[in-house]
Amino acid sequence: MDELDSEIVRLLQSDARQSNRELARKLGVAPSTCLERVRALTRRGVIRGYHADIDPAALNRGVQALVSVQVRPLNRTVIDTFKGFASSLPEVLHVFVLSGGDDFVLHVAVQDLDRLHAFLVDRLSKRAEITGFRTSMIFQQVSNTTPLSLPS
């Protein structure tokens, strides 16, 4: 990645909705150059996609929690199967595969505490590979909005 690529990434992180023409103007390059650079960054996997940042509470999913999960036996098949299962659940926003005492952390968002309890009892506790789980409620969430950059 050169300076132009880094600046493209920085600008897109701050506003991914800007047009290619606007991005090229800010960079001081031709729109065709800008478009080719963005396409190359996408092909290389630097840019993984564009998305809208949605507030779960605005969709009546204001109760959020982190659920730490332990599975056994600890092997690739079990990990991949559980990861696929968890990521398919509508309550689950993110699935993190970990090392250490917990094997997974699930970031979930539901309507209320009753729905969280139902998720834990009806979805997780019935899975044979799960040997235990712990739930931590999220009271507040603050996101780091500083754009990612290459390490110095």
**Structural contact between residues 47 and 9, judged by C-beta atoms closer than 8 angstroms:** yes
Split into its structural domains, the chain has a count of 2
Using one digit for the tens of pLDDT, what is the confidence trace for 56-75?
Answer: 999 999 999 999 999 999 99
**Assigned domain for 68 exists:** yes
Q: What is the number of helices (H) and of strands (E) in the chain?
A: 5, 4
Task: Enter the tokens of residue 82.
Answer: 């559980």
- pTM, two decimal places: 0.85
Using one digit for the tens of pLDDT, what is the confidence trace for 96-152?
Answer: 999 999 999 999 999 999 999 999 999 999 999 999 999 999 999 998 888 887 776
Q: Give the SS3 label for residue 15.
A: coil
Distance of CA 142 to the CA centre of its chain: 14
Look up the domain containing 112 and give its range: 56-138
36 and 70 together in one domain: no
111 and 71 together in one domain: yes
72 and 110 together in one domain: yes
106 and 33 together in one domain: no
